[in-house]
Amino acid sequence: MGKKALIVDDSASMRQMINFTLDEEGWEVAEASNGKEGLDQLHLTHPQLVITDIHMPEMNGIEFIKNVRTASEFKFTPIIVLTTESEKSMQEKGKEAGATAWIVKPFTPEKLKEVVKKVCG
Amino acid sequence: MKVLIAHSSIIILSALSVIIPGTTAKLIYITVLLTGSFFLIRRLLRSEKQKIVTACESEKARLEEKLKRKEKELEEKEQEYSNIRKEKDNQEIDKAFKPITSSLREKVKIIPVLNGQLRAVIEHTEKAAMDLSKSFMNINKKAKEQVKEVSAVFGDLSEESGDNNQSVLLSMKEVLSRIITNFNSVTEIIKKSQSATAKIIERAEAVKDIVRKTDNIADSSKVLAINATIEAARAGAHGKGFSVVASEFRKLAEDSESANKEIHSIIDKVTEETRHVYKETEEGVKRSNEITMEAGEMLKNALGQINNAIAQARDKLADLSRHAESLARDISTIVVSIQFQDITRQRIEHVIEPLEEFAKELNSLKEELENSSSLADFASRDHAAWLVNKYTMETEKELMNRTLMNVDFCSE
């Protein structure tokens, strides 16, 4: 069975770019445009990796991560935050919520691949 | 009254002291009188003091009450003054802003239009970014696939693959080497054939010697047959039978001579043909040697060319890989650049959101202005702090702080 990843970002172009990058590494990718949709996709696809933005409508990234961590199945699933948010305090909030890694946009595909390899062992 | 009674008592008692006879009695009487007067006066003083204190406290309470009333009145006056001032200010503000209220009404309508335009820009740039990223990612993917395919083809042509199958070029090299070996083998076979032909010629010469000997035998037999015929004729009737034998013997010698001639002729022919074959074989060996050498040289050149072609192809492949890597790096940079669309989108949204709130506020302000209310709430708002909470990016905050250093728009 292939590796599955979930991308949660309100920007379609960002989702597409992340999708391409993960596809090159052999990931099967599911997409969602906000935290709420992200949770639906999470329980539908059971991914081994989650990549999320922070500032999104409906449900923001921090709330989404908190919700993901409440499910025992996803307690240890790597969650990479990919955002324009560079505030340290927000990064701390993300860490407290359960984020595994934090990448500030813009990112290079190589950087994303490197972090994915790191968090997925 | 009590003081008057006290004073009257003292005067009466003093007058009595004049009446009382005797000095000692007078002294005792005066002492008692003074002591009594002292206690009486002290009591009277205490009573008076209490009255004064009570009166003072009452006066103080009255004055405090009055002060409070005055303070309240002052406060009310101040409030009234403030209201009058506020109303006056409002009237002045209203007067000042009235001319722009109608203009404001129109301008407020523009903000949603501007926001709509900005959202359309976001939508279009997002679509363009998606198209661009899709195209570049596809180019990157195709370049990588191309390098992979060329490498596979090159591997098939020039290198040994892992599954024990030889590459085409290596097989060709082996086949060509075998051809040279086969050429050498053919030359060897021809040489052996030449050697065998030489032996045949040698043997033919030996057979010719033998036939020459049988020629002599046939000649001698012929002479012998003639002699026997002569001797049979001399013997007359007795030699008749012997004459027949001699005749047959002569015939046999003649046949033998004829056969020998035929054998000579055949051997000569065979020898000649064998010599011819030998000569041709010699030519063949020579030619075969030449061809083998020539082919060897040609194959050596061909192998050299193949090796050169492989080396060139390997260099080209390395170039192709380098170009693909360079392309991937360029595309990586482009991917980063395309992400600025998302960053720009968020920054525009950070402009749109405050603009929408401004529009709401301006709408309510417009209504307030129309209802002759105040601008004070809007004017007193700390817009800088409000914007800081909106912004999420360091660059946005830096730009705002840089702008604020030059323009204090909060106080304007």
User: Do B342 and A13 make contact, defined as CB atoms within 8 angstroms?
Assistant: yes
Question: B150 versus A3: which is more confidently predicted?
Answer: A3
Confidence of residue B165 (pLDDT cuts 50, 70, 90): low
Q: Can you say whether the dihedral through the CA atoms of B403, B405, B411, B412 is positive or negative?
A: negative
pLDDT of residue B309: 81
Query: Tokens 């391409």 map to which residue?
Result: A20
pLDDT of residue B412: 38
Range scoring the smallest mean pLDDT among A77-86, B103-112, B163-172, B212-221: B163-172
Chain A residues whose CB is inside 8 A of the B333 CB are 108
What residue in A sits closest to B392 (Cα-Cα)?
A: A85
ipTM of the complex as predicted: 0.77
Range scoring the smallest mean pLDDT among A90-99, B48-57, B75-84, B152-161: B152-161
Could you give the CA distance from residue B395 to residue B343 in angstroms, rounded to a whole number?
10
Please state the rounded mean pLDDT for residues B13-42: 77
pLDDT of residue A115: 96
Query: Tokens 């020898």 map to which residue?
Result: B271
Q: Which residues pair with A82 in a beta bridge?
A: A103
Which A-chain residues 84-113 have CB contacts (< 8 A) with chain B?
84-87, 90, 105-110
Reported as a single tens digit per residue, the pLDDT across A30-64 is: 999 999 999 999 999 999 999 999 989 889 999 99
Both structure tokens of B271:
């020898």
User: Do A86 and B394 make contact, defined as CB atoms within 8 angstroms?
Assistant: yes
Q: Say if residue B92's pLDDT is above 50.
A: yes
- For the ranges A41-45, B40-44, B279-283, the maximum mean pLDDT occurs at A41-45
pLDDT of residue A33: 94
Report residue B165: phi and psi, to 5°.
Answer: -95, 135
Both structure tokens of B284:
């063949």
Confidence of residue B330 (pLDDT cuts 50, 70, 90): confident
Cβ neighbourhood burial of B51 (10 Å; 0-12, 13-18, 19+): exposed
pLDDT of residue B411: 40
Residue B339 one-letter amino acid: Q
pLDDT of residue B159: 62
Reported as a single tens digit per residue, the pLDDT across B129-143 is: 888 888 888 888 888
Could you give the CA distance from residue B381 to residue B387 in angstroms, rounded to a whole number?
11
Q: Say if residue B354's pLDDT is above 70.
A: yes
pLDDT of residue B348: 85
SS3 label, residue A103? strand
Reported as a single tens digit per residue, the pLDDT across A69-94 is: 999 999 999 999 999 888 888 999 99
Total number of residues shown for chain A: 121
pLDDT of residue A94: 94
Q: What percent of chain B has pLDDT over 70?
A: 84
Please state the rounded mean pLDDT for residues B90-99: 72
Please state the rounded mean pLDDT for residues B350-354: 84
Reported as a single tens digit per residue, the pLDDT across B240-257 is: 888 888 888 888 888 888
Interface test with B, best of A10, A19, A20 (most B CBs within 10 A): A20
Question: Who contacts B65 (Cβ-Cβ below 8 Å, separation ≥6)?
Answer: none
Distance from the A72 Cα atom to the nearest Cα atom in chain B, whole angstroms: 32
Range scoring the smallest mean pLDDT among B9-23, B174-188, B189-203, B349-363: B9-23
Size of interface A-B (CB pairs under 8 A): 61
Question: B384 versus B327: which is more confidently predicted?
Answer: B327
E-state strands within A47-100 = 49-52, 79-83
Could you give the CA distance from residue B43 to residue B50 in angstroms, rounded to a whole number?
11
Q: Say if residue B51's pLDDT is above 70.
A: yes
pLDDT of residue B87: 83
- Domain limits of chain B? 2-71, 75-150+332-406, 168-327
pLDDT of residue B327: 83
Q: Which residues pair with A51 in a beta bridge?
A: A7, A80
Nearest to B332 by CA among A105, A10, A21, A52: A21
pLDDT of residue A70: 95
Q: Say if residue B376's pLDDT is above 80.
A: no
Q: Name the DSSP class of B375.
A: S
Both structure tokens of B336:
């980063």
Buried b (16+ CB within 10 A) or exposed e, B294-308: ebbeebeeeeeebee
Could you give the CA distance from residue A18 to residue A106 in angstroms, rounded to a whole number?
11
Helices then strands, counting H and E runs in chain A, come out as 5, 5
Interface test with B, best of A7, A9, A10, A14 (most B CBs within 10 A): A14
Query: Tokens 């809007």 map to which residue?
Result: B378
Q: What percent of chain B has pLDDT over 90?
A: 5
Specify the fold of B168-327: Helix Hairpins (1.10.287)
The three-point CA angle B396-B401-B404 to 5° equals 125
Helices (H), B159-167: none
The DSSP secondary structure of B294-345, one letter per residue, reads HHHHHHHHHHHHHHHHHHHHHHHHHHHHHHHHHHHHHHHHHHHHHHHHHHHH
Please state the rounded mean pLDDT for residues B384-394: 74
Nearest to B375 by CA among B94, B103, B98, B80: B94
User: Do A17 and B137 make contact, defined as CB atoms within 8 angstroms?
Assistant: yes
User: Do B345 and A84 make contact, defined as CB atoms within 8 angstroms?
Assistant: no
Nearest to B354 by CA among B111, B102, B107: B111
Chain B residues whose CB is inside 8 A of the A106 CB are 335-337, 339-340, 343
Please state the rounded mean pLDDT for residues B190-213: 86
User: Do B392 and A85 make contact, defined as CB atoms within 8 angstroms?
Assistant: yes
pLDDT of residue B13: 67
Of the partner residues A13, A55, A86, the one whose CB lies closest to the CB of residue B130: A13
pLDDT of residue B6: 62
Taking CA atoms, B95 is separated from B88, B89, B370, in Å, by: 10, 9, 11
Confidence of residue B298 (pLDDT cuts 50, 70, 90): confident
pLDDT of residue B408: 47
Please state the rounded mean pLDDT for residues B274-292: 84
Question: B401 versus B80: which is more confidently predicted?
Answer: B80
Confidence of residue A65 (pLDDT cuts 50, 70, 90): very high
Q: Say if residue B409's pLDDT is above 50.
A: no
Cβ neighbourhood burial of A82 (10 Å; 0-12, 13-18, 19+): buried
Range scoring the smallest mean pLDDT among A21-30, B96-105, B232-241, B356-365: B96-105
Question: Using an 8 Å Cβ cutoff, are B267 and B204 in contact?
Answer: yes
Range scoring the smallest mean pLDDT among A95-99, B29-33, B99-103, B405-409: B405-409
Confidence of residue B95 (pLDDT cuts 50, 70, 90): confident
Question: B402 versus B39: which is more confidently predicted?
Answer: B39
Taking CA atoms, A41 is separated from A25, A68, A69, B133, B142, in Å, by: 21, 11, 15, 24, 30
Distance from the A5 Cα atom to the nearest Cα atom in chain B, whole angstroms: 19
pLDDT of residue B410: 40
Q: Say if residue B377's pLDDT is above 80.
A: no
* Structural domains of chain A in order of their starting residue, each with its CATH number: 3-119 (3.40.50.2300)
Interface test with A, best of B139, B141, B332, B339 (most A CBs within 10 A): B339
Interface test with A, best of B336, B340, B348 (most A CBs within 10 A): B336
- For the ranges A83-92, B62-71, B94-103, B380-389, the maximum mean pLDDT occurs at B62-71
